Amino acid sequence: MSETTVRCSFTFNVEHNKLLEQLKTKTGKEKKQLIREAVQLALSKGLAPAQYRWIDKNHRIYVVDLPGEDAQKAKKLWKGRLTPLAVSGIIAMIEEQGLRRPEVTPEEIQRLRESLEKIFENVRVMDQGFAKKEAPRHVTDNTSAVRAVKATLLQLVRELEFFKKGTEADRKRFRESIDPMEIGYITSLLKALFDEDGFQRWILATEFTMGKGNARR
């Protein structure tokens, strides 16, 4: 009697698809088979679904027949979060095979550099728009810097309160008008500032990326 299977859809970012390409080259197995094995490995090792930023372009969709027992177990444990679970398994398989995660390409570095430059410019424009009494533009010491940041955060909270209490249309306009890359940069920097070790890693990664981008000029 053949094993019952369930047809499931997996949507991977470009980075995850590159990992599948590496595994395919190393093992000679098809990607769908690798995805099945990744889910099974994640379940057997008790791995949690991977957390990563979703990139809504250049993604790849695979329809894979999973053993019914695996699909049911994943649904019970992780509420059907199959793709993040598969990504955890894929990363574990990469490590088991002694492979390295693909390096960032020069093109990707350039795109990141351009995005960062845009963020820096937008943040500069935002800073110029704040009232001097609330957020001094010229910061000369850590005391005035802290005071300026606190005033800026207070102003931001007041402005965001409108969208918190507003309509769905208001929040839609917010999403259409605000670049999520700006939010990601600011929140990652604020989080890093509360952990010195984490900040050093953050600044090193930022300088490394910007440095490689400048080297291409």
CA pair distance 140, 91, nearest whole angstrom: 46
89 and 133 both lie in a single domain: no
What lies within 8 Å, CB to CB, of 27 at 6+ separation is: 34, 97
118 and 211 both lie in a single domain: yes
90 and 136 both lie in a single domain: no
Q: DSSP state, 63?
A: E
56 and 117 both lie in a single domain: no
Which of 96, 131, 161 lies at the terminal end of a domain, its last residue?
96
Predicted confidence (pLDDT) per residue in 108-135, tens digit: 566 666 766 776 666 666 555 554 445 4
65: β partners: 7
Predicted confidence (pLDDT) per residue in 155-214, tens digit: 888 888 888 888 888 888 888 888 887 787 788 888 888 887 777 777 766 654 444 444
Quote the number of domains for the chain. Answer: 2
Range of the structural domain that residue 39 is part of: 5-96
Which of 62, 96, 130 lies at the terminal end of a domain, its last residue?
96
CA pair distance 179, 120, nearest whole angstrom: 12
In a domain, 101, yes or no: no
The answer to whether the CB of 41 falls within 8 A of the CB of 92 is: yes
Per-residue confidence (pLDDT) for residue 111, from 0 to 100: 66
Which of 77, 96, 115 lies at the terminal end of a domain, its last residue?
96
> What tokens appear for 161 in the block?
């309160």
pTM of the model: 0.47
111 and 166 both lie in a single domain: yes
112 and 38 both lie in a single domain: no
77 and 120 both lie in a single domain: no
